[in-house]
Amino acid sequence: MKELEQRILKDGQLLGNDILKVGSFLNQQVDTALLVKMAQEVKRLFPEEITKVLTIEASGLPFACMVAVELGVPFVFAKKSKTSNVSGDVVTAKVHSFTHNIDNIINVPKDYIKETDKILIVDDFLANGEALNGLIEIVEKCKASVVGCCVQIEKAYQNGGNTLRNQGYKVIALASIKEMTSNIIQFN
């Protein structure tokens, strides 16, 4: 999506060599007009039947909410916990956090995902695919179907996206970064 790419070039900040900060327009302060356009694009890219949108807290939340509004379905988010001591009737998966370098146990109440659900998984970033893999694991443990995965930004030089595509999942990024160095960001 050209408008998103241009905004990344204008307002994205590189932290070290590998973390792109987009907090000023995507995931802490949110440009809602851009968010609406992204959600409309997701609807166009995923014409399949979708009954629920699933994401992981916290930075995927605004995108998931707007996509769900656009599709006219609920959205659910997985909560993160640092220990496996998660109580209640929940489905869990272990996810290694790329940005914080820790393992989280992510969890969703069993009741929120039914066997008949057709789930679109969304997130802000796709890097090594840990977050999406954990969310897929949760959907599959609930015996629901994964329609596909959509992220705002894929760092395509990391292998998460292509590993999932090779496994047969439909994975689409609204902006796909081919290369990122301190003075240049190139898109696919």
Helices (H), ranges, 46-129: 61-71
Among residues 124, 146, 164, 173, which is the contact residue for ligand 5GP, using CB under 6 A? Answer: 124
Quick note: the x/- pattern for ligand 5GP over 65-104, rule CB under 6 A, is ---------------------------------xx-----
DSSP tag of 111: G
Task: Return left, alpha or beta for 177; rule: phi > 0 is left, psi -120 to 50 is alpha, else beta.
Answer: beta
Listed ranges 2-10, 45-53, 62-70, 120-128: which one lies at the site for ligand 5GP (CB under 6 A): 120-128
128 lines the binding site for ligand 5GP (CB under 6 A) = yes
Please give the size of the binding site for ligand 5GP, defined by CB under 6 A: 17
Nearer to ligand 5GP among residue 23 and residue 74 (C-beta): 23
Q: Out of 129, 138, 142, 169, point to the residue binding ligand 5GP (CB under 6 A).
A: 129
Following DSSP, what letter does each residue of 29-67 receive, concatenated? Answer: S--HHHHHHHHHHHHHH--S---EEEEETTTTHHHHHHH
**Residue carrying structure tokens 């707007």:** 66
* Element containing residue 18 per DSSP (H, E): none
Which residues would be at the binding site for ligand 5GP (CB under 6 A)? 19-22, 59, 98-99, 123-131, 160
